Amino acid sequence: MEQNKKRRNLLIITPDQMRADYLGCYGHPTIGTAHLDRLAEEGVRFDSCYCAAPLCGPSRISFTTSTYFSEHNHRDYGAEINPDVPNLVTSLKKQGYRTGMFGKNHLFTYDRLPEVWDELDEICLGNCDGHEKYEHSFSAFTMEDDHPYNITGRLTTETIDFIKRQEGPFFAWVNYQDPHPAFACPKPYDTMFSPDDIVLPESYAGYDRAKEPDRNEVWRCHSEMDLCSEADMRKAMATYMGQVRYVDDSVGRLMEALKETGRDADTLVLFFSDHGELLGNHGMTHKIPVFYDALTRIPVILRHPAEHWEKKVFRGLVEEVDLAPTLLELLEVPVPATMTGKSLAGALRAGDDTGKDSALCEAGIAAPMLHEPMPGLTLRAPFEPASYGCGAMIRRGDWKLSVYAEDLGELYHVTEDPEERENLFENPEYADIRNDLTLRLLKRVLGVKIRDVGGGVWNTEEYPVDVRRMPLEV
């Protein structure tokens, strides 16, 4: 890039555990996410983007490095990578961008964060485990204004302050806790939606235990969902909606700050979530290694200050790993050869929203899987020794197939069965579809191991860590 050429900035906004279908621009009828809806009107909304993994750390690593779950092989919630692994952040830093991160890391090795970020306020609340009102996975309550866990507003203020002080090109990334469990938000968001108006998903009680993976029932038992009344679930859903609105108003503050400073004219804005939330689907809350759309289909909105993408909807399949290469190409920054995803910049400019033939999602820690709940074990979040069995999913056309190493598989016609209630995996009428998708899934998982790295010769000067031989602990 020519040194005298003005470079555009990048702002990334990442809520934690936000479902796509809980935004107005994605079809929610009552939530009223005015600021995110406006962002979608000013840019492009990706209708069918799937995360690489329905877990925080693995998803964020996949996004930043543009590598699939089974490629980087970091499987736990709080996974960390060596920042020498080629990634979006250091690619921009090498080009002179001043970097600032505010909120949850769940990405880079903690003792090296100051090398990656010029300014930093790293804070991860987990599940608000230390809050005295957090008793169950479905707990919903008012977050006190002055509670140290009420950080969404604070992180927004810090990000705005960072943006206002920058003179050269900058990259700001704000990682919100909301709307992650516990389901809690401050006033007025805590009562913005009435539980009496909430309609429970059909799959809340309408699931077929005999046709489900064992991990579902194990998690329901360990999380004491038998204690969750319909009123409790409605309150959790209403509070989750309040958390979403809290994030939406914070997005509004960020966008207003860009306009006030004139930086909206030279800043790309990406809004995306690392994964979704079960929120009553299949009688569960939180997340486990399963692949329902509630967890794996993520909201993605991209605003470019110069491209005419207003009100554009990209309807084809997109994978989370495609986002970083897209950003780098749009910013005219070299894309590392190690990145597996495909840039969407050309397709966006050409008006082509065909997307990919299929989307891959993976999850699970390589540990013994529980097929029956452990007597007496209660959990507020799906930690060990809960069911962490490995699995992988492929979405193609109208169909979604999930295969688990030690569990019942799943096959859904997602357009006719959007809540994924009728598992057709064992139905002989759909054996051909199941077998075809099984082979495609196998080829996709095997295929992520193959990359063009320049004829097999690793450029150690540009990329110090050879990720092809990277030990798991890096």
| pLDDT 10s digits, 389-414 | 899 999 999 999 999 999 999 999 99
The whole-number average pLDDT for the span 443-470 is 57
pTM reported for the whole predicted model: 0.93
Q: What does the DSSP 8-state code read for residue 6?
A: P
Q: What does the DSSP 8-state code read for residue 23?
A: S
Looking from the CA of 71 toward its CB, the CA atoms found within 13 Å total 29
235 residue type, one letter:
K
Q: Residue 79's pLDDT band (boundaries 50, 70, 90)?
A: confident
Compute CA distances 53 → 73, 76, 276, 311, whole Å: 11, 10, 10, 28
392/272 Cα distance (integer angstroms):
22
The SS3 of residue 104 is: coil
Q: Residue 281's pLDDT band (boundaries 50, 70, 90)?
A: very high
Q: Using alpha carbons only, give the angle 240, 246, 248 rounded to the nearest 5 degrees.
A: 105
Per-residue model confidence (pLDDT) at position 450:
40
For residue 453 the two structure tokens come to 């790295």
> How far is C-alpha 450 from the chain's CA centre?
24
Got the DSSP string for 230-277?
HHHHHHHHHHHHHHHHHHHHHHHHHHHHHHHHTGGGSEEEEEE-S---
76/406 Cα distance (integer angstroms):
18
Q: How many CB atoms lie within 10 A of CB 462?
A: 13
Give the residue among 194, 408, 370, 200 at the shortest CA–CA distance from 291: 408
Q: Residue 195's pLDDT band (boundaries 50, 70, 90)?
A: very high
The whole-number average pLDDT for the span 255-277 is 97
What pLDDT, in 10s, does the model give residues 311-339? 999 999 999 999 999 999 999 999 999 99
What pLDDT, in 10s, does the model give residues 30-65? 999 999 999 999 999 999 999 999 999 999 999 999
* Omega of the bond leading into 382 within 30 degrees of 0 (cis): no
Q: Residue 341's pLDDT band (boundaries 50, 70, 90)?
A: very high
Q: Tell me, letter by letter, the H, E, C secondary structure of 309-370.
A: CCCEEEEEEEEHHHHHHHHHHHCCCCCCCCCCCCCCHHHHHHCCCCEECCEEEEECCCCCCC
